[in-house]
Structure 1
Amino acid sequence: MTTTPTILIVPGLRDHVAEHWQTLLEQKLREKLIEARSVQPLEHDKLSRDARVAALDQALAEIDGPVILVAHSAGVMITVHWAQQHKRPIMGALLAAPADLESPFPPGYPTIDALRDNGWLPIPRNPLPFPSIVAASTNDPLGSLERVTGFAHAWGSHVVNIGDVGHLNPAAGFGEWVKAEEFVRELAG
């Protein structure tokens, strides 16, 4: 008997946004009676990598059975940092539009110095201990295709070029992202 995996959403630094594809995916999966939940937003230390990794670890501790992670933006980096420190088996991970925290961001985002001071740098480049798909945008203002592809190769991830989708968020015109469900099904095997 195969156990259906729990889908755990790992949002980025902006946490939960009502119109975001991750939020909509969680709702859609629940409507289909698929166990889906999100890492809870932080009340304090919102820029702390350690606090974000601990929140992911806590969410995983509350799940029995197989898990597929669905991470976006800095949520990808939370997942990658978590994987360097913890050994819990993960069935697979969808890593969508990873934010290149080592490169300067547009105004309104954390600076490289703030990210370094809060433990985000350097970005780990060790192979992940689970299968993963990196969904890479060709015009993401928070991570060039070249850099994201380099991260994916270092992590041992399968790279999928998803085209000109910006940062794959509401600001880029994305609410629902239908491909996410397809990638999750692929990871569930």
Structure 2
Amino acid sequence: MIVVPGIGGSGSDHWQSLWLRDQPDAVRVEQRDWERPDRDEWIAALQDTVQRATGPVVLVAHSLGCHTVAHWAHQHQAEVRAALLVAPPDIDHSAAQGAPIAGFGPPAANPLPFPAVLAASSTDRWADLDWSRLIAKQWGARFVDLGDAGHVNPDAGFGPWPQGEELLRDLLAEY
């Protein structure tokens, strides 16, 4: 499993970090600057991590990490078993709210070349549910409505996230 965090790098109490602790073979994509994302750098870091993978690649992305995965998938070829994409932000909406992500736009609009599930919340301040459904459709991902889950991060009450683990298990059981 390759964990692809968003801005801030998913701190120690984030569900992605907790999953890394529980999965000895899992790795995190590391970025030079977690606070001022550069799309090309973030894509290159993901590519480096994928190239070092020794087994089937399973991507688990959160927030801006979802866009990193989508842009990467359209620039590079690799055998990816599946991807779980959680709470991707609406680039234009988030940039207007002050998030430093304008350089990631526009979002990749082509279907991903591997199976994916996109899980989003009806109360995410960075993207509304209609936008999330649209981007899931564009990426060819199965959409899951998480309901009132904020940005699916520690601020929204998510440390351990059993529902996410179940989504990933179900996705991998399908492919």
Q: TM-score range by the shorter chain?
A: over 0.9
Distance in structure 2 (CA, Å) of the matches to 1:183 and 1:150: 20
Gaps of 5+ in 1: 1-6
Q: Could you say which residue in structure 2 is the equivalent of 1:4? A: none
Cα gap change, 1:44 to 1:188, in 2 (>3 Å): closer
| 1:142-183: CA deviation from partner (whole Å, max 9, x where unpaired) | 010000100001111000111100001111111111122112
**Are the structure 2 counterparts of residues 173 and 78 from structure 1 closer, same or farther at C-alpha, using a change threshold of 3 Å?**
same
CA contact (8 A) 2:6 2:34 kept: no
Q: Within 2, Cα distance between the matches of 1:43 and 1:160?
A: 30
What CA RMSD, in Å, does the superposition of the two structures yield over aligned residues? Answer: 1.7
Which has the larger displacement, 44-53 or 68-77?
Answer: 44-53
Deviations 1:65-95 (A, max 9, x none): 2111000000000000001101101000000
TM-score of the two chains, using structure 2 as the length reference: 0.92
Distance verdict in 2 for CA 1:160–1:45, change over 3 Å: closer
CA contact (8 A) 1:16 1:41 kept: no
Pick from 19, 22, 33 the counterpart of residue 28 of structure 1: 22
Q: Shift in Å at residue 107 of structure 1?
A: 5.2
Q: Which residue identity lines up with residue 11 of structure 1 in the other structure? A: P
User: Match for 2:119 among 114, 123, 135?
Assistant: 135
Consecutive unaligned residues of structure 2, counting only runs of 5 or more, are none
Q: Distance in 1 between matches of 2:55 and 2:163?
A: 25
Matched, 1:153 2:140: no
In structure 2, the CA distance between the partners of 1:50 and 1:175, relative to structure 1 (3 Å rule), is same
Structure 1 window deviating more from structure 2 (159-168 vs 179-188): it is 179-188
1:50 counterpart = 2:40 = yes
Kept in 1: contact 2:8–2:34 (CA 8 A): no
Q: Which runs of 4+ in 1 moved over 4 A?
A: 105-108
TM-score (norm 1): 0.86
C-alpha distance in structure 1 between counterparts of 2:77 and 2:27, whole Å: 21
Q: 1:8-19 to 2 correspondence within 5 Å?
A: 8-19=2-13
> Which of residues 78, 93, 104 is equivalent to 1:103?
93
Identity of aligned residues (%): 39
Q: Give the Å deviation of 1:16.
A: 3.3
- Post-superposition CA distance 1:105-151 (Å, at most 9, x none): 575522xxxx34x3x11111100000000001011000100001000
Q: 1:106 to 1:179 in 2, by over 3 A?
A: farther
1:70–1:95 Cα contact (<8 Å) kept: yes
Which of structures 1 and 2 has the bigger CA Rg?
A: 1
Task: Give the superposition deviation at 1:188.
Answer: 2.0
* Corresponding position of 2:152: 168
Q: Which residue of 105, 108, 128 maps to 1:144?
A: 128
Equivalence for 2:162:
178
Q: How many corresponding residue pairs?
A: 173
